[in-house]
Amino acid sequence: MRPAHRTHAALPRGAAAPATAGEGAAAGTGPAGVDPFAARVARAVDPARLQARQRGLAAHGGVATGGVARQALTEEELAARRWLAQDFAVRPGYRIGIDAAANVHLRREGADPSLAPVLTGSHVDTQPLGGWLDGAFGVVAGLEVFAALDAAGARTRRPIDVVMWTNEEGSRFAPGLMGSASYAEPARLAQFLPVADAAGVRFETARDAAVADLNEAARREGWAWMDTPLAAPVHAYIEAHIEQGPVLEALGLQVGCVTAIQGVRWFRVVIAGRSAHAGTTPLAARDDAQAKAVHMAHALLSHAETCGDERLRLTIGRWQCSPGSINTVADQVAFTVDARHPEAAALDTVQALMERCLPAGGRIELLQDKPTVHFDAGLVALARQACAGLGLSHHDMLSGAFHDAMPMAAFCPTAMLFAPSIGGVSHHPAEDTQIDDLAACTRALAWCLAELAGPA
C-alpha cells in the first residue's frame, strides 16, 4: 500500500487534470467552450430516473410521519446499500467491493485498468431522524451518472467509483466521517474500532457485520467482486450534496461550487455532582451537577449570541442527566458542544471559554477537531466550467456542514457541488430540494466526472 501523501505526486494540487486524450481532445473544446464528451454524458442525465432512485432509497428507513431513520450500519442502512448496488453490480463492466472501514465501492470499469479511478459518492447513513437527501443525494447522483454513461454508450479511460462512505453523520458512533477518514488515513481506523454506540455495540462489530452482509449479497447475486484496500490511489474526488443552508436559494442559483469547508470541533463535557433528595436537601447543601452544567451551557450560548461574529456556530445538541429522576438532584450531567467557524482563532476562543467555565471536577473531551479545508483550485475551476458549459447559474461558496470530502481533500484533489435546499432546512424530516435543482447539480457532476475520467 502506498502512503497517502505520495499517492498523487504526479498530480500537483490546483491542477486536477481533466483527461486530454480521446474524443474530447480530438474534437477540442468548441468556440463555446463546450467539451462534446462531457456535454453528451451530462445531457443523458434523466431527472425522472434520478427521482425514482432517490424515492426508492428514502423508503429504506422511511418513517410514516416523515423523515428517514437510517443510522450508520443499522439493518436499514445495510439494506439501502444492497438496494442501491443491485441495479449496477449485475451489469457487465461493473464491480463491487467493501473496504476495511465498510465503505462500499461500486466501480464502472475504464478502458485502462492501470489508471487510478475518479471517485464520487457520499453517505447513506442519516441522523436519528433525518431528511431524505443529506448524503443520499450524492450517492444517487453518482449512480445517475453511471446510468447516463450507460444510456449514452460512453466508455471512459479511467474507472469511475461511486462510494458509499461509512458513518458520515457521527450520530450513532462519534465522531463522524469514520469511513472517509479511514480511507484517506488508514491509521485512524484503529481509533474508531472500539467506539461504542448508546446500546454498547462496538463500531468494529457493526463493521464486521456490514462486510459479511455485502460479501454474502455479492455471492448470492453473482456480483463481480473487487478488492478495495484503504488509501488505494485516487485521481480525484468530487462529491455532490445538498447545501443544507439558505445561501443558494436566497440568491436564486442552481449550483454551488464549493471552495472550502469550515472548521469544526466537537466536545463532550462531563460534570459531576452528588445525588440528594429534592425535597429535603437545602440548596446550599447540594452539589447539583445539573445546576453547574446549566450555568456553563448558559455562558457558552451567551458568548455565541453576543460576540458579534455571525459566522460562529455553536450547538448543544445532546444532554444526558443521571439518575434522571424528577425528585433527585443530578449526580452527573454530560452534554455535547459542536462549534464551527472558518477561522481557528474563533474556535480557540470557544475552547478557552469552556475551560474557564468548567466546574471543579468536570472534564472536557475533544471528540473531533477538523480545521478548515480548502478544495483543489483546478477541480473548483472544472466545476465552474461544467456549470458554464451547461448554462447553469452558479456561485462559489463555503460549506457550513462537514462532508466526506473533508478528509478526502488531504488525500487527493477534491471538490464539491451543492444543490439548493428549500428553506435551508436539513437534519429535519422537511429537508427538500426541487427535482430540477437535483438534476442540474447531477448534470454538473456528470460533466466533471466525464472530463476527469476522459473518453476511451
Q: Would you tell me which residues interact with ligand GLV (CB under 6 A)?
A: 169, 176, 401-402
Give CA separation, 232 vs 8, 118, 182, 379, in Å.
Answer: 11, 12, 12, 20
Interacting partner of 35 out of Mn ion, ligand GLV, none (Cβ under 5 to 8 A depending on kind): none
Interacting partner of 402 out of ligand GLV, Mn ion, none (Cβ under 5 to 8 A depending on kind): ligand GLV
Interacting partner of 186 out of Mn ion, ligand GLV, none (Cβ under 5 to 8 A depending on kind): none
Q: How far is the CB of 441 from ligand GLV (least distance, A)?
A: 18
Question: Among all chains, which residue has been given the C-alpha cell 435543482?
Answer: 437
**Other Cβ atoms closer than 10 A to 213:** 18
Question: Is 197 in a helix, a strand, or coil?
Answer: coil
Q: How far is the CB of 200 from ligand GLV (least distance, A)?
A: 24
Contact 223, 90 (CB under 8 A): yes
Nearer residue to Mn ion within complex by CB, 39 or 68: 68
- N-term to C-term CA, the chain: 27
Give contact residues for Mn ion (rule: CB under 5 A). 134-135
Nearer residue to ligand GLV within complex by CB, 346 or 401: 401
Q: H or E stretch including 321? A: strand 319-322
Query: Among candidates 343, 322, 325, which has minimal Cα distance to 333?
Result: 322
Residue 33 grid cell: 467552450
Query: Among candidates 93, 85, 240, which has minimal Cα distance to 159?
Result: 93
Nearer residue to Mn ion within complex by CB, 418 or 447: 418
Q: How far is the CB of 127 from ligand GLV (least distance, A)?
A: 7
Question: Among all chains, which residue has been given the C-alpha cell 477534491?
Answer: 414
Nearer residue to ligand GLV within complex by CB, 332 or 421: 421
**Separation between Cα atoms, residue 155 and residue 108, nearest integer Å:** 9
Nearer residue to ligand GLV within complex by CB, 61 or 378: 61
Interacting partner of 420 out of ligand GLV, Mn ion, none (Cβ under 5 to 8 A depending on kind): none
Nearer residue to Mn ion within complex by CB, 135 or 175: 135
Q: How far is the CB of 425 from Mn ion (least distance, A)?
A: 12
Q: How far is the CB of 238 from Mn ion (least distance, A)?
A: 15
Q: How far is the CB of 313 from ligand GLV (least distance, A)?
A: 10
Give the nearest residue (CB) to Mn ion.
135
Query: Among candidates 41, 49, 5, 11, which has minimal Cα distance to 23?
Result: 41
**Separation between Cα atoms, residue 376 and residue 394, nearest integer Å:** 18
Interacting partner of 121 out of Mn ion, ligand GLV, none (Cβ under 5 to 8 A depending on kind): none
Give the nearest residue (CB) to ligand GLV.
401
Q: How far is the CB of 414 from ligand GLV (least distance, A)?
A: 16
Nearer residue to ligand GLV within complex by CB, 175 or 455: 175
Q: H or E stretch including 269? A: strand 263-272
Interacting partner of 389 out of ligand GLV, Mn ion, none (Cβ under 5 to 8 A depending on kind): none
Interacting partner of 448 out of ligand GLV, Mn ion, none (Cβ under 5 to 8 A depending on kind): none
Q: Residues near 41 by Cβ (< 8 Å), separated by ≥ 6? A: 145, 148, 149, 152, 154, 446, 447, 449, 450
